Amino acid sequence: MEAEGVLVPLSLSAEFEGSFAYLTVRDRLPTILTKVIDTLHRNKDNFFKEYGKDGIQAEKTAISFLSKLRNELQTDKPVLSLTDNAEDSEAWNEYMRRQQDLMEDGKLVSWFKSPWLYVECYMYRRIQEALYMNPPMDKFDVFKGQKTQSFFESQQAIKLLCTYLQDLITNMENLTEIQLRDNFLKLLQVSLWGNKCDLSISAGQDNSQKSSPIDSLPDLQRFILVDDSSMVWSTLVAAQGVGSSGMKHARVDIILDNAGFELISDLVLADFLVSAGLAKQIRFHGKSIPWFVSDVTKQDFEWTIMQTIAANHKWMSASGVQWKHFMKEGTWSYHDHFFWTLPHEFCDMAVDAADLYSTLQGSDLILFKGDLNYRKLTGDRKWEHTVPFDQALRGFQPAPLCSLRTLKADVQVGLQPGQAEKLSSQDPDWMTNGRYAVVQFSSPCREP
| Footprint of ligand F6P (CB under 6 A) | 24, 28, 120, 195, 198, 200-201, 257-258, 292, 370-372, 375, 408-409
- Rule CB under 5 A: choose which of 59, 120, 129, 198 binds Mg ion: 198
The residues near 44 (Cβ < 8 Å, ≥ 6 apart) are 56, 59
Instruction: Kindly state the smallest distance separating residue 201's Cβ from ligand F6P, in Å.
Output: 4
Per-residue contact flags (x/-) with Mg ion for residues 264 to 293, judged by CB under 5 A: ----------------------------x-
Identify which of residues 32 and 168 has a Cβ nearer to Mg ion in the complex: 32
**Distance from C-alpha of 200 to C-alpha of 39, rounded to nearest angstrom:** 15
| CB closer to Mg ion out of 286 and 400 | 286
Residues 6+ positions from 167 with CB-CB distance below 8 Å:
315
258 binds Mg ion (CB under 5 A): yes
Among 59, 88, 253, 295, binds Mg ion (CB under 5 A): 295
**Which of ligand F6P, Mg ion, none is residue 120 near (CB under 5 to 8 Å by kind)?**
ligand F6P
User: How big is the CA angle at 145 (ends 142 and 149), to the nearest 5 degrees?
Assistant: 150
Q: Measured from the CB of residue 410, what is the shortest distance to ligand F6P in angstroms?
A: 10
* Measured CA distances, 429 to 71, 188, 373, 381 (Å): 29, 25, 20, 18
Q: Is 254 helix (H, G, I), strand (E, B) or coil?
A: strand
Told to check if 374 binds Mg ion by CB under 5 A, we report no
For residue 14, report the phi and psi dihedrals to the nearest 5 degrees.
-70, -5
Residue 137 interface partner, choices ligand F6P, Mg ion, none, CB cut-off 5-8 Å depending on type:
none
CB of 306 to ligand F6P, least distance (A): 23
Q: 84: helix, coil or strand?
A: coil
**Closest CB to ligand F6P among 34 and 240?**
34
Exposure of 317 by Cβ count < 10 A (0-12 exposed, 13-18 middle, 19+ buried)? middle
Residue 375 touches which of Mg ion, ligand F6P, none (Cβ within 5-8 Å per kind): ligand F6P
Identity of the residue, 126 or 405, whose beta carbon is nearer to Mg ion in the bound complex? 405
Closer to Mg ion by CB, 227 or 257: give it.
257
Contact 20, 431 (CB under 8 A): yes
Is 410 a residue that touches Mg ion (CB under 5 A)?
Answer: no
193 contact partners, CB below 8 Å, separation of at least 6 = 213, 216, 217, 220, 265, 406, 437
CB of 412 to ligand F6P, least distance (A): 12
Q: Please, what's the b/e burial string for 138-147 (b: 16 or more CB within 10 A of its CB; e: otherwise)?
A: eebbbbbebb
Q: Looking at 73-81, 98-106, 197-205, 414-422, which segment touches Mg ion (CB under 5 A)?
A: 197-205
Query: Minimum Å distance from CB 199 to ligand F6P?
Result: 8
Residue 201 vs 274, nearer CB to ligand F6P: 201
Residue from 384, 403, 413, 393 nearest 441 by CA = 403
Pairing of strands 251-255, 365-369: parallel
The footprint of Mg ion (CB under 5 A) covers 198, 257-258, 292, 295
